[in-house]
A and B are shown apart, each in its own frame.
Chain A
Amino acid sequence: MSFQITDIPRILPELMLLLLGLMVLGSDVLTRWGRGPQAQLERAREAGQLTAIGLGLIFIVGLVQSRFLFTVPDPSGGPLDVLLTLGRNLQAGGPGGSPILGAFATDEFTMVARLTFIGAAFLTTLLAMGYRLTANPGEFYGLLIFSTLGMSIMAAATEFILAYLALELSSISLYVLAGYFRESERSPEAGLKYFLFGSLSSAIFLYGISLVYGFVASENQKAGGTPIVATLFSEVGRFATGDAASSPLLILGMLFVIAGLGYKISVVPFHTWAPDVYQGAPPPVTAFLSTASKAAGFLLLYRLLTTAFPGAVGTPRLEEFSGWTSVLAILALVTVIVGNLAALPQTNARRLLAYSSIGHAGFLLLAALIWSSTSPADRAFGTAALIYYLIVYTLTNLGSFGVLAVLTNALGSDDLGAMQGLWQRNMVLTLMMTILILSLAGIPPLAGFWAKFFVFMAGYQAGAVPLVTIAVIMTVVSLYYYLRFLKAMWILPAPETTPFKTPPVANAAIIVSTVLVVLLGLLPNLIWGTISTAASVAAR
């Protein structure tokens, strides 16, 4: 197990992200910009364009590499041979092979995750380009890219130290991004809160890792070996079987790991930072934070739990509390209830969506519960449901937070009251928001419906019937606050009726995500097949 030169194409997208981040930073810092507002605008535009083009390229590279769309044929002596050879070499680094150094898996799971994050970052960049950025745009976009890099590695990591480093890379970038609007009141507060809370979680996470280390070392010693330090997930998984799986040391470590990652996915009771930060951070950052960041947390948690603690899987049935599926079941229960209920009295649109996204985290947890089944098909279904939900949720929330970003920019407020009579002022935006909100509420035939359907199905098959029942009831509750958006936009009288324009780039991002939401709702099989492949790999 050593790093080989052929491993480089396998991490090519990550390397490209790194390079792009440095380029964006460098081109901004090394250029001598004028002081005037025009120059500042130009500066922001340039950084944004470079980021968008770069991310788009990396997305394409990742897509080709993943072999999801097509397999490049062998060079056959034609004029396109150079391209074909390039493509072959790229796809040689595609899904498959054992993890690099045991720590970095490049399976379909990673590929799907990578594409999701890069796509989300791309759309976020478009949103940010339509938003007024005041200072240091290179910093902003650079941090966005580094954060994406961190997330990519998070989803690929199969080793504790790498996972932790990736987590920190993505989180620290996001702390800065959340506090990016230094002159605003809420933004620095959001950044600071996020940072404090993140540090606490990191500490807990590290504590958990060290407990797991201790567990492995002592188990190895018990078996007659030396007290080694095993940091790979799979090695931990090898020890954590049978009776050893219920060792208090391991359970404690596992709980701390879950809690440490729980903040990233903002499940109750580790969610408390989310509403404040979502409301305070710059709107495009909120969009990114609530989607890619959360998805990365989920994927890491999922991979970690399933490979490091397969022996402690337990059962999601609450009456026989055991293993991590029980923990997730409890967290899911509390999360769907608190997330959806707390959303009811909110008056700020972003805060409302923050609580809604907490509720969604609860729904997402349902998909993981099915791991308690031993059948690979069941597990694959659960994994597929999770990934599908994550992708759909990422698209929908990016779109809806994007709309809120546009509104904040144009109206200077993101209260629900400011959205009244929106249809008179910007019909396209209202229509998009309506579709996105309906998808969030899970109304067929939009993608959100299938996402919910699949996770409920997975939860039901896992045997967590009461939990699924409560989740379904909470879906009904959620309809109430989602409909408040529609009521505000369509029914309530507009305080003023002057139309306003959506910045074209932001509009593009919103329309792309909306169209995808509709498309994936009408044809869920479009990505379900790919996801199922990824899921069955992950479920092995």
Chain B
Amino acid sequence: MNWIIWLIPAFPLFGFVINALAVRRERDAGILASVMVGLSFAATIVAMVLLEGSPADAKRLTWTLWEWISAGDFRVAFGLLFDPLTAVMALLITGVGGLIHVYSIGYMHGDVRPVRFFAFMNLFVFAMLMLVMADNLLLLFLGWEGVGLCSFLLIGHYFDRRSVPPGINPSDAAVKAFVANRIGDAAMLAALFAIFANFGTLSFYDNPQLGISGYLDQAVAIAGDTIDLGAFGQLPLIAGITLLMLVAVTGKSAQFPLYTWLPDAMAGPTPVSALIHAATMVTSGVYLIVRNHTLFDQLTSAAPWVLVIGVMTAFIGATAAVAQLDIKRVLAYSTISQLGYMVAAVGMGAYVAGMYHLLTHGLFKALLFLAAGSVIHGIGGHQDMRRMGGLRDDLPTTFRLYVVGALALSGIFPLAGFWSKDEIIAHAWFDARSPLAAIILILTSAITAFYMGRQIGMIFFGRPRDPAMHGHESGATMRWPMIVLAGGAVIGGLINFPGLHWLNSYLRPVLQEPEVVYTLGMGVLATITTLLSAGAGYLGWKIYARDLEPRIRIGKEDPAFRYLGDLWRGMEFGWGLDWLYQRVVVRPYRAASVFLSQVVDREGIDGVLVDGTARGLVRLARGLRLLQSGYVRMYALMFLAGVIILITFFALRG
């Protein structure tokens, strides 16, 4: 029965192929795509049941479709792997993905090219499933690139528009995402090379079917090996590989300093933002670290780079989210910040906590994006929060769902975010013994609550600022997926509830992590955090729904700008990383490109080499033409001259 696992990615792939080749109507495309993801979800459930039946010491279903590459020692299986870690990821991808597909049927109604949209959504689900189900790094890399490609294609969904709110050029945004990911991908490839060079295999675990050994089991054996960097000294091998992987993670999971593509990725349709840029693709970096945790285990204590990156990202993302005026950009920076939490967690070795937050975040951030999409949809495509205000009467369901999502994200007791976030913070304070990280994370949590309060205040409270705007509630296909997700956001904390710790036990075959022992200190810490968050959230709401509300005007600065000035400006522009890249990387690169194209290529290679050769040949050809005078006597002369020359050759040489 193990073969059932290849059905999981096969359904979305089938949906993609049919949608891409055969389907022409919007309705058919949406239904087909949703059904395929739904079937994939069902297959995942079946596979999980099967997984329960497998022996406790080998909680793993594998299925090798064929030997993908076999070149000497380099052997890679096209093999799928289904273990508890894969199971929770696949459940998230197909579950949340299926809901978002259903939601999209309503949201994308009347879109210019819905079939393309659904085809690529299915392709994305396929690629993401390949990423989490691969039994080796190369196949994982296939999925890794595949999701990047789909992200590129879907960000550029409106490629024919010059600008979508808030003034982003979709094709530029798509290219930006692709290029930023490319930096990470290059590092990923280098990590692949390093792993193959040192372990001789890319398989995670032993593949008995083909006799390929796995590298994760050997990680401890080569812990002492080093890479010779010449003048730069020695680098421990594990450190080198994990560092390369970390760079890959900063690209794909939008961590500092490569996160700048994610806010711009909001140029895609909102379901894309929900599925790809919040719930699944951006979490693949976290998955990569968790999957390779035996490598990262060798690292954590000595070099806490992962933790540092995660904490920095969490804080920077949260502060930037405060000053955004576009409804989706707030959520984009919030996603960056939350991804920072996850990366920080796995950086501390709290893999279960990281996965826990990944799952709950997948639920409530998807909910928030869908609710934001519902708002955008309901008011006719506007995304600027200054135009909104007082929408709670027009969009009552959406309002309630948004509040649920916001409370979950802010970590308010007893919603899902509270449990998962506090587990990370507690781990930072008590186990990692890193109070600085913990304090920054608590602060970030408060800021998170603040910007969510601000957002709710600006969107749903106050007076309607745009008299021309009339909101209407979304239809059932959009409402119900949100309601289901909201249910998840409320009770999602159950999956690793203190004392029950189901997720911990479920993932133990993969992660071998001991259960967290809960102490009173943890309770105190959690209470402080929650109170801080609740206060900050109320503050954010009060300022933007009451105190400063009259000063919010369409097209004008945020009122807080008056009080914070340049600090506000810095937050608004994501602390200027884009500005920096523009000046340090993009412009010099463009200039070099122009030089190479205009001067080196057009003048040099094309002008001198290519055209020069052509001109030379044409001149030669003109000369040859003169020989063809049309006179037979001339021709006869050439004939005889030819014979004589040949004879002379022989006379001289022979």
Write the residues of chain A forming the contact surface with B, with a CB cutoff of 8 angstroms. Answer: 192-193, 196-197, 200-201, 204, 246, 248, 251-252, 255-256, 258-259, 262-263, 268-270, 272-273, 275-276, 321-322, 327, 330, 338, 341-345, 477, 480
Establish whether residues B649 and A342, one from each chain, have CB atoms under 8 Å apart when the complex forms: no
Establish whether residues B634 and A272, one from each chain, have CB atoms under 8 Å apart when the complex forms: yes
Establish whether residues B643 and A255, one from each chain, have CB atoms under 8 Å apart when the complex forms: yes
- Chain B positions within 8 Å of A322 at CB level: 653-654
Establish whether residues A342 and B643, one from each chain, have CB atoms under 8 Å apart when the complex forms: no
Among the 9-residue stretches B158-166, B270-278, B578-586, B618-626, the one with 4 or more Cβ atoms under 8 Å from chain A is B618-626
| Docked CA distance A139–B635 (Å) | 29
B-side interface residues, number (CB < 8 Å): 27
| Docked CA distance A251–B646 (Å) | 11
Nearest neighbor of B630 in chain A, beta-carbon distance: A276
Interface membership of chain B positions 595-629, coded 1 if the CB is closer than 8 angstroms to chain A and 0 otherwise: 00000000000000000001001101110110110
- Chain B positions within 8 Å of A248 at CB level: 650
Give 10 pairs: A residue, B residue, CB < 8 Å, sorted on A. Answer: A197-B636, A259-B646, A272-B634, A272-B635, A321-B649, A321-B653, A341-B620, A342-B625, A344-B618, A345-B622
Establish whether residues B621 and A269, one from each chain, have CB atoms under 8 Å apart when the complex forms: no
- Chain B positions within 8 Å of A343 at CB level: 621
Q: How distant is A242 from chain B, measured CB to nearest CB, in Å?
A: 15
CB-CB contacts below 8 Å: B639-654 with A:
639, 641-643, 645-647, 649-650, 653-654
- Chain A positions within 8 Å of B636 at CB level: 196-197, 200
- Chain B positions within 8 Å of A330 at CB level: 646, 649
Interface membership of chain B positions 570-595, coded 1 if the CB is closer than 8 angstroms to chain A and 0 otherwise: 00000000000000000000000000
Establish whether residues B646 and A272, one from each chain, have CB atoms under 8 Å apart when the complex forms: no
- Chain A positions within 8 Å of B635 at CB level: 193, 197, 272-273
Q: Which 9 A-B pairs have the closest CB atoms?
A: A269-B642, A272-B635, A344-B621, A321-B653, A342-B624, A341-B621, A259-B643, A345-B621, A269-B638
Establish whether residues A270 and B639, one from each chain, have CB atoms under 8 Å apart when the complex forms: yes
Dominant SS among interface residues on chain B? helix
Q: Is B71 an interface residue (CB 8 A)?
A: no
Establish whether residues B617 and A200, one from each chain, have CB atoms under 8 Å apart when the complex forms: no
Give the contacting residue for B642; candidates A251, A270, A275, A345; CB below 8 A.
A270
- Chain B positions within 8 Å of A477 at CB level: 617
| Docked CA distance A246–B649 (Å) | 14
Q: Is B632 an interface residue (CB 8 A)?
A: yes
CB-CB contacts below 8 Å: B89-110 with A:
none
Of A258, A321, A345, chain B has the most CB atoms within 10 Å of the CB of A345
- Chain A positions within 8 Å of B632 at CB level: 192-193, 196-197, 273
Q: How distant is B619 from chain A, measured CB to nearest CB, in Å?
A: 10
- Chain B positions within 8 Å of A259 at CB level: 639, 642-643, 646
- Chain A positions within 8 Å of B645 at CB level: 269
Establish whether residues A197 and B639, one from each chain, have CB atoms under 8 Å apart when the complex forms: yes
Q: How distant is A470 from chain B, measured CB to nearest CB, in Å?
A: 13
Nearest neighbor of A263 in chain B, beta-carbon distance: B639
Q: How distant is B615 from chain A, measured CB to nearest CB, in Å?
A: 11
| Docked CA distance A259–B617 (Å) | 28
| Docked CA distance A341–B615 (Å) | 12
Write the residues of chain B forming the contact surface with A, with a CB cutoff of 8 angstroms. Answer: 614, 617-618, 620-622, 624-625, 627-628, 630, 632, 634-636, 638-639, 641-643, 645-647, 649-650, 653-654
| Docked CA distance A275–B625 (Å) | 11
- Chain B positions within 8 Å of A276 at CB level: 628, 630
Q: How distant is A337 from chain B, measured CB to nearest CB, in Å?
A: 9
Give the contacting residue for B647; candidates A197, A255, A338; CB below 8 A.
A255
Q: How distant is B78 from chain A, measured CB to nearest CB, in Å?
A: 30
Nearest neighbor of A341 in chain B, beta-carbon distance: B621
Give the contacting residue for B614; candidates A197, A251, A273, A480; CB below 8 A.
A480
Nearest neighbor of B634 in chain A, beta-carbon distance: A272
| Docked CA distance A204–B644 (Å) | 12
| Docked CA distance A344–B616 (Å) | 11
| Docked CA distance A321–B645 (Å) | 13
Say whether, besides A200-B636, A252-B647, A272 and B617 are in contact (CB < 8 Å): no
Establish whether residues A342 and B621, one from each chain, have CB atoms under 8 Å apart when the complex forms: yes
| Docked CA distance A270–B636 (Å) | 9
Q: How distant is A81 from chain B, measured CB to nearest CB, in Å?
A: 57
Q: How distant is A137 from chain B, measured CB to nearest CB, in Å?
A: 29
| Docked CA distance A338–B639 (Å) | 14
Say whether, besides A272-B628, A344-B617, A344-B618, A246 and B643 are in contact (CB < 8 Å): no
Nearest neighbor of B647 in chain A, beta-carbon distance: A255
Having A259-B646, A341-B621, one finds 11 other A-B pairs with CB under 8 Å, namely: A204-B643, A269-B638, A269-B641, A270-B642, A273-B635, A276-B628, A342-B621, A342-B625, A342-B628, A343-B621, A345-B621
Q: How distant is A88 from chain B, measured CB to nearest CB, in Å?
A: 49
Say whether, besides A197-B636, A269-B642, A341-B617, A251 and B650 are in contact (CB < 8 Å): yes
Establish whether residues B639 and A269, one from each chain, have CB atoms under 8 Å apart when the complex forms: yes
Establish whether residues A341 and B624, one from each chain, have CB atoms under 8 Å apart when the complex forms: yes
Say whether, besides A327-B646, A477-B617, A272 and B639 are in contact (CB < 8 Å): yes
- Chain B positions within 8 Å of A272 at CB level: 627-628, 634-635, 638-639
Establish whether residues A338 and B617, one from each chain, have CB atoms under 8 Å apart when the complex forms: no
| Docked CA distance A477–B622 (Å) | 15
Give the contacting residue for B639; candidates A192, A200, A327, A480; CB below 8 A.
A200
- Chain A positions within 8 Å of B617 at CB level: 341, 344, 477
Q: How distant is B640 from chain A, measured CB to nearest CB, in Å?
A: 8
Q: How distant is A258 from chain B, measured CB to nearest CB, in Å?
A: 8
| Docked CA distance A272–B647 (Å) | 20
| Docked CA distance A321–B647 (Å) | 12
Q: How distant is A175 from chain B, measured CB to nearest CB, in Å?
A: 13
| Docked CA distance A258–B639 (Å) | 12
- Chain B positions within 8 Å of A341 at CB level: 617, 620-621, 624
Q: How distant is A460 from chain B, measured CB to nearest CB, in Å?
A: 24
| Docked CA distance A312–B488 (Å) | 92
Q: How distant is B266 from chain A, measured CB to nearest CB, in Å?
A: 43
Of A246, A248, A269, A330, chain B has the most CB atoms within 10 Å of the CB of A269
Nearest neighbor of A343 in chain B, beta-carbon distance: B621
Establish whether residues B647 and A275, one from each chain, have CB atoms under 8 Å apart when the complex forms: no
- Chain B positions within 8 Å of A193 at CB level: 632, 635
| Docked CA distance A110–B141 (Å) | 60
| Docked CA distance A345–B626 (Å) | 11
Give the contacting residue for A255; candidates B621, B624, B625, B650; CB below 8 A.
B650
| Docked CA distance A272–B630 (Å) | 9
- Chain B positions within 8 Å of A270 at CB level: 639, 642
| Docked CA distance A338–B654 (Å) | 26
